[in-house]
Structure 1
Amino acid sequence: MTDPRPAATVEAVAAVCADSYARIVAALIRVTGDWTLAEDCAQDALALALERWPVDAVPANPGGWLMTVARNRAIDVLRRASVERRKLRELAVLALVDPPTEPAEEEVVDDRLRLIFTCCHPALAFDARVALTLRTVVGVPTVDIARAFLVSESTMTRRLTRAKAKISDAAIPYRVPGGPALAERLPGVLAVLYLLFTHGYNPDGEPAFADEAIRLARLLAHLLPEQPEVSALLALFLFQHSRRDARRDPGGGLRTLDRQDRSRWDHAAIAEGVDVLARVGENGPYAVQARIAACHATAASADVTDWPAIAGWYDELARIQPSPVIALNRAVAHGYAFGPAAGLALLAGARAGGALDGYPLAVAVEADLTARRGDRDLAAALFRGAAALAHSDPERRALLDRAEELSGVD
């Protein structure tokens, strides 16, 4: 059935939702302290916009229109529920004030930062932080969040409800921490954004999640310019996402970095990433990852990639943030910088503890380095082994294609 609403109206509501939804929810949470009420009223306002705007035209200040409708809806609900009179009086005062043409910058800063930091409070489980950020800050429908986490919509609804209840029951403050507390909490916020981006950037991910992670990183970089890791994370996202249109061939298969058509990369995003990264003077984990990504993004071709520099940055990353996956990537970098034997030696060390057992990319790295060493038959067998372990069809097809190339199969 065709949607009777004009496409332009639907697009206008979508644009306003992306720009204003979190601001509306954050403002209502601040005043009412009720997360569910704030979200419901914001959703009601969006639904009314879809109903009214095709008839009355999109208002000159759509964000203000939505804020007024959501706020008035909250007043009605609170009045009918006979809740605390102080909250009702506060909302009634707001109802008498016409919404500004543009929201006050400081109020938006405070409300949205409060919302992000509250959603990412360490008292919540990490998956709950990500889900609550997606639902409350980004406005992603619960069904889409459930799909990303591979659970049912009802299960995700219960998780979100428990997370909100924990915030209320534990009296988690709706504020941005200051001083040492900000330094302590910020890595958790950035980790949520990183996982949000990853959910969108993975082969089977939701691309909109990556876009929203970039939008939120831009917001945080604007609001917290003195925090170098915030800007570094934004730069990293920009470099990675710049390749989104070149990662697949016409048949939908994955293309590795060295086989991508670089003319299809988003060079404006790369330029923005270079500019953002130039202002980062420290080398925290995200800054180092961004510098690695910059080496790839700014190389004119795969043949002129500065692999020795990348290997050096991976050495630094392994020192400050050691992990099995970083050790694996370090082996790749050294293999391309100093020869496959060097890479295979580091790979053997990375796999020694067993943390990479059953990890398809570890097998694929061994296959690639083995092929570069000249043993095509063994490399083909390893690529087939990696394909058997792959978690998605695009990855499996890409690995089997490499095996066929090495086997001489057309």
Structure 2
Amino acid sequence: MGVVFGSKKLKAVVVQGNEPVQIAKPSKYKEYLKEIFEVYKENPTMAALKDSGSNSSYDLSLQTGDLPLRNWSKGVWPEGDLLGSVKYKDKILVGIETCYSCPVACKRVVEIKDGPYKIEKGPGPEYETVGEFGGMLQIADIEFIAYVNDIANRMGFDTITAGSTIAFLGDLHENGVIDKSFLHGVDLKFGDKDAVLQTVKSIADRTGIGELVSLGSERIANLIGEKAKDYITTVKGLEAPMHDPRGNFALALGYGLSVRGACHVSSLVFPVSSGFMYFPEIPELTDFGDPCSEKLKPELAVKAEDFGMFFNHSAIWCIFGGAALNATQVVTLFNLVTGFDYSLEDILKRGEKIWYLKRGVDNLFGIESKDDRLPKKLKTPLSEGFTQDLAPNDEKMLSKYYKLRDIDSITGKPSKEKLVSIGLSDLLKLLYEG
């Protein structure tokens, strides 16, 4: 959508209304909120987000192997301590902000008053940006990362894809797959702030190396050939975020089955499997075995997708803002606001239907089961660090998952019988009758 807006030179859409938002059951809603606010006050995750924002998870991620390093090639980075919550606060943090009426207040406000990375007061880098331009590119300078984040915000590009694509090119260069000339004369190396900054500044203008990076890593790999495919971190063309499935095997399904490609917020697989969210009312989201075992992960993925279609795709709960709540509280709030009377079972059934509809749209665009796999880079065991010698077997998990979902293991399409049973006969006609 952003590309279409840009092509039309559309800068913004502003909508202003005069009527207040109506709540179906305002008195009951206000009363229930008292209970909910107490839940937030007592929740340690909410306290961590308020204190340090999304980067509150950085230190733990670095220690447990959750944070990818050097284009997913290393398991240890001693200098990484310089990017944690303490350094963030000491060097760049000047305030906090919150979305309207949210009690979490996870937004960071940063400022750098002088030096080469001087920026005016504005939004600070989130965990993903710190991970990409820190761990992935091996740059242990929080001021530099804040400066890059400011450029990305102003130019309107995604820091996950940008950082991963630059790291991908750095990895190719380091291993002799490409040379400096392919990079438009930029001597792109891990840890080289000047080279990375030159690259970042050229992306939006699509000049020099920026023209190359703007394609994204998978399209660049297609230009180079098969030898480059071992270095990409994409699923369905989208670069993976800063959470490593080698330490949490459920993420192999979370990334692989995401409709839009490797993404940690396209369902609830990541927040549930990482312990960030807890829904005791849904057994599959409570008991899903050892993080580094394939056992019970397909069952987790199915329910995390079904509930996720409601949670962060239809009701539009923020994963941070809703992390303190259980499923009963979430559904109760939803019913009080909307006036509906859905049970948790109702929600899961509707979420299932939404998921199959999205999967069917993917199929219509040519997605098959082969596209549900992780790239080689994310399944190659590391020789060091917390996740040493570990890697998920996504083939094993997908085999069970396809049976649970009644999906063909070759075409990746849901069966006709399944589509009829959940009321998607129109989708069936598109998928099977043209």
TM-score of the pair, normalised by structure 2: 0.29
Structure having the higher Rg:
1
Say which structure is richer in helix.
1
- Structure with bigger strand share is 2
